[in-house]
Amino acid sequence: MKVPAHARAHKRQELSVLTRHLRGQSRKITGPRQAILEILRRHPHPMTNREIFAAMPKGRCDLATIYRAMHLLEEMGMVKRFDFGDGAARFELVGEGDDGHHHHLICTRCAGVVEIDECFLREIESRIAARNRFKAVTHKLEFFGICPACQR
Amino acid sequence: MKVPAHARAHKRQELSVLTRHLRGQSRKITGPRQAILEILRRHPHPMTNREIFAAMPKGRCDLATIYRAMHLLEEMGMVKRFDFGDGAARFELVGEGDDGHHHHLICTRCAGVVEIDECFLREIESRIAARNRFKAVTHKLEFFGICPACQR
DNA sequence: AAACAACTGCAATCGGCTTGCAATTGAGCG
DNA sequence: CGCTCAATTGCAAGCCGATTGCAGTTGTTT
Ligand SMILES: [Mn+2]
Ligand SMILES: [Mn+2]
Ligand SMILES: [Zn+2]
Ligand SMILES: [Zn+2]
């Protein structure tokens, strides 16, 4: 099966990003880390560590390795952690030059996910920070409901 | 130590609410359930099951009982579940005739909590629901930052 | 007071996540 | 290219919040 040129380009670029981020921290570019980014790039929605593990070709690495890798990638700002409230962390690839902040609309029946790209709270957030004299205020927000397919 | 009259009144009222809610579902008014509501009433912020357990007079009941009670009380709409993202569910008493929906501002250093009573998203929520044809849309939102005391 | 369903305590168990340790491997260097 | 060593990994044990099966207890109804 042939890989299209643009996909190869994607991959090359992403690898270079990984390399750049790892340099200067004496971190290594390893198979598991590349595989994880590869998998995340193909997925439009946040994935659990287990899902990443399952998507990995033939037990390519241990689940513990994925947990450790996600911490590293999160620290480097290459992935963003989301919490859908079901007890399992989810991760999504962050675009270059983006901070990854956004929200989701999640179907409570089928677990389907809709990406909500705008954030409506930037303004409100600073008002709340000022009013309570908090610094470095952020927020976590997710929407839940019943999707069209699950309504009937 | 004497209990003031208004406190006794509070307690009586709350008990009657509990009774009313339990009736017709063949549920029992038990010691643990009364004790839990009593504790929650004294606390202005969401509590974990462990905290409720610790606040209980001398191992008055088992931790598992508290977990079960919180499910029941949540189902009955008497408490609201919150998620501060640290892996432990938190519960807050819901006022009568209130749905309990609100938000918090949480200090990531000292875990202090500020209650945010307004909800800014009612409007946006219905826009999102309509745009994606979802029904029964709700949201979970919490703010995080560094409180005045922790800034120095 | 009896009868029975609801409830509780206890201990086992689960699932997500972390961690200690010995073996492996990537990156820089000669 | 092969050497060296810290970084990384696999594995297994363990942590923690939460759930559950079961036998014994208790609240409610009659
Ligand atoms: Mn997303
Ligand atoms: Mn609150
Ligand atoms: Zn936002
Ligand atoms: Zn709200």
- Which residues 32-91 of B have a C-beta within 8 angstroms of A? 83, 85, 87
Residue B141: closest C-alpha in chain A: A141
Nearest nucleic acid nucleotide to B27, CA to C1' distance: C6
Chain A residue closest in CA terms to B82 = A85
Which CATH architecture does the domain made up of A5-151 adopt?
Answer: Orthogonal Bundle (1.10)
How many angstroms is C1' of D1 away from CA of A35? 28
Task: Note whether B143 contacts A139, CB cutoff 8 Å.
Answer: yes
- Residue B69, CB, strand C, below 7 Å: yes
Residue nearest C8 (alpha carbon to C1'): B65
Smallest CA–C1' separation from A28, nucleotide? C26
pLDDT tens, position by position, for chain A (152 residues)?
444 544 555 656 666 776 788 777 879 999 999 999 999 999 999 999 999 999 999 888 999 999 999 999 999 999 999 999 999 999 999 998 899 999 999 999 999 999 999 999 999 999 999 999 999 999 999 999 999 999 98
Integer Cα distance of A22 and A19 in angstroms: 5
- B135's CB contacts (< 8 A; 6+ apart) are A145, A146, A151, B129
Q: Tell me the pLDDT tens digit for each residue of B49-103.
A: 999 999 999 888 999 999 999 999 999 999 999 999 999 999 999 998 899 999 9
Nearest to A144 by CA among A113, A101, A102: A113
pTM equals 0.91
Query: Gap from B20 CA to C2 C1', in Å?
Result: 27
Rounded CA separation A44/A62 (Å):
24
